[in-house]
Structure 1
Amino acid sequence: MRLPPFLTLTALEAAARHRSYSRAARELHVTHGAVSQQIRKLEDELGAKLFLRQGNSMIPTATGARLAGQVTIALTTLRLGVEEASQAARGPLVVSTGAAFASRWLVTRLARLAADTGEPDLTVRAEDRVSDLSSDGADVALRFGRGPWPGMESVTLMTERLFPVCSPAFLRVHGIAHPRDLIDVPLLRHTGLPWSLWLSAMGVEETPLHLGLRFDDTALMLDAAAQGMGVALARSGLSERDLRDGRLVRPFPGEVAVETGHHFVWRADSPKLTRILRLRDWFLEETAAARADRSMASR
């Protein structure tokens, strides 16, 4: 059987609860005539009397009372569902990101992010693990890699370029001016980023003579380079602040593009989807602006 219109059922429920068409009309923000018409249509459709007038009151019949009771239960269930969905959508927006990306790229933009997006409750989790957006409470992941990630939506924020960096003082002392000069100075190493990748692209086939400290944290390696401990092979997305502030310099041109990059990852079925998409658009605009700034600076 086809269900009656929602407005008809709410008119029945309110009229039975108030025992008055007029009070039901005020609650529903409609006219007395509209409530009366809806109930009359429902009585015609069901073939049963739902209300009897008693003085100034409209008393539900046994059939009317039973049906109104069932509608009350259904409306309560609907309200609970809507409230639950609303609470889920209003909760903190949790962003999971790698520690290096958080400290080297994101932290300088957090104030602008909050102002531009109007996001009322943003939580940033800096963690060196792949967050599971289905189970660990994160709504968005800023991931470094190639992608895609099964079951997730993603957009590429920026791809990486690799190039050597060192402190200004290190450059003055060692006077390196060409890729070949790196063979004779301490090279700081990252466990996932071999120097051979960049050296071979620059036509340098010799083995470096002074391999420096090895790191598994990019931010720590860049800090060591800023302290004059050697030359680091930097990723463009994580070194821009140090280069801008003058803590690090590029001793010479020459960079290698790699397939890995930074990606914005989310679940399409998230109850916070509207907020997530607004955040995604901000990240896309911000990374596009950063690329434009780098392009202008290189001219």
Structure 2
Amino acid sequence: MHLPSLRALSVLEAVVRTGNVVAAADDLRVTPGAVSKQLVQLQHEIEAPLFESGHRLKPTPLATELAQAVGTALRHIEEAWMSATRVSDTRVITIAANATLSMHWILPRLVDAEAKMGGRPVRVSQMHTTDEWRRLPFDIAIVRQADDTGGLERRPIGIERLTVLATPERAERLRQEGVAAIAQETFLVARTRAGELEDWLAVAGIDAPVATRSTPHFYIAVEAAVADQGCVIGPPGVLADLIRQKRLELPFPHLKSDGSLLTAVFDPQVCRRKTADRLLTFLFADFG
């Protein structure tokens, strides 16, 4: 059995309910011409008159019965949709982000973020740069250097601006001795952030090799720097909580190099655009 389009049935319901083509068009947010065209097509498909002869907008009993049935069905659809969206609006939002960004940027803002989302729970799933993020469960993923996102929607967050961070005592000594003293320092370098130390040294005008200690992940390098095992090159914005707590300082805040571009990616069929945009706008309003 062939059924006409829901659009055509909705047009009939609106015309019968309002008794007016123009009013029905306004209700459906289409043109009166589109309404008339749908009615003609529907009458052709049903092979029976929908309006009384001589009374252009007086519906036949058949049309009235059909319009009432369509109206009931549309109300059921609307109620089901409202119920479904209410469920969607209370589902946990999972954000996948690298460990450093999760610990030092997202988690300190999480309570306020949930309040901003009307109490909807937000969960943070920490990942490593070496993880295949596409295989992780997430609603929104924050990735670095997102070259291939497999058709997911993107929202740029910003470029990490990098500089030297060290314990207050070490940072004060560097300030007193000047930038040249950097050449005598030990730097904690994450293997997942290759090239960042070299880029910053170039900005600082340091061409001599410096001593380095390698770590598998950046958050380990940061914790080692907090433990005064050396300096680290990192984004002071992301690590602002450690700076506020006086655990790390910036000896040369004017010397900064560009790091990675952070990008938020999501599937709009899983996480609605307005939900993603609202949450990301709040979380990263002051990023940079």
**Matching of residue 91 in structure 1 with residue 96 in structure 2:** no
CA distance in 1: counterparts of 2:271 and 2:241, whole angstroms: 34
Mean CA deviation greater in 257-266 or 105-114: 257-266
Aligned to 2:156: 156
SS in 2 for 1:149: coil
Shift of 1:150: 4.2
Q: Give the counterpart of 2:202 among 188, 200, 203.
A: 200
Which of 28, 46, 50 does residue 45 from structure 1 map onto?
A: 50
Note the C-alpha offset of 1:180. 2.1
Q: Separation in 1 of the partners of 2:227 and 2:61?
A: 88
CA RMSD of aligned residues (A): 3.8
Structure 2 unaligned regions, length at least 5: 17-45, 53-59
Say if 1:157 and 1:283, in contact at 8 Å, map to a contact too.
no
Looking at structure 1, the residues matched to 176 and 112 of structure 2 have their Cα atoms a distance apart, in angstroms, of 38
Q: Structure 2 CA distance, aligned partners of 1:236 and 1:185? A: 19
Aligned pairs, number: 239
- Shift in Å, 1:222: 1.3
Sort the Cα spacing of 1:115 and 1:77 in 2 relative to 1 into closer, same or farther, 3 A.
Answer: closer
Whether the aligned pair in 1 keeps the contact of 2:101 and 2:238 (CA below 8 Å) is yes
The aligned counterpart of 1:247 is: 247
Checking the alignment, whether the CA contact within 8 Å between 1:202 and 1:254 is kept in structure 2 is no
SS in 1 for 2:202: helix
Deviations 1:222-247 (A, max 9, x none): 11111110111122333222112110
- CA deviation map 1:180-230 (0-9, x unaligned): 21221222112123322111222211112x32x211322221111111101
Larger Rg: 1
CA distance in 2, matches of 1:197, 1:46: 77
CA contact (8 A) 1:140 1:264 kept: yes
Give 1:263 shift.
2.3
TM-score (norm 1): 0.64
Paired position in structure 1 for 2:281: 281
Amino acid at match of 1:123: R
Separation in 2, partners of 1:104, 1:271: 24
Give the TM-score of the pair, scaled to structure 2: 0.66
User: What are the equivalent positions in structure 2 for 1:218-297 lying under 5 Å apart?
Assistant: 218-258=218-258, 260-270=260-270, 272-287=272-287, 291=288
Secondary structure in 2 matching 1:45: coil
Partner SS state of residue 249, structure 1: coil
Amino acid in structure 1 at the alignment position of 2:265: V
Letter in 2 for 1:205: D
Alignment of 1:135-174 (within 5 A): 137-145=137-145, 147=147, 149-171=149-171
Decide whether aligned partners of structure 1 residues 275 and 235 sit closer, same or farther in structure 2, where only a CA change above 3 A counts: same
What letter is aligned with 1:103? M
CA distance 1:111–1:121, shift in 2 (3 Å): closer
Instruction: Determine if contact 1:98/1:142 at 8 Å carries over to the other structure.
Output: yes
Change in Cα spacing, 1:176 to 1:156, as seen in structure 2 (3 Å) is: farther
Residues 2-21 of structure 1: CA deviation (Å, up to 9, x unaligned): 54845799xxxxxxxxxxxx
Amino acid at match of 1:45: L
**What stretches of structure 1 of length at least 5 have no aligned partner?**
10-41, 51-63, 292-299
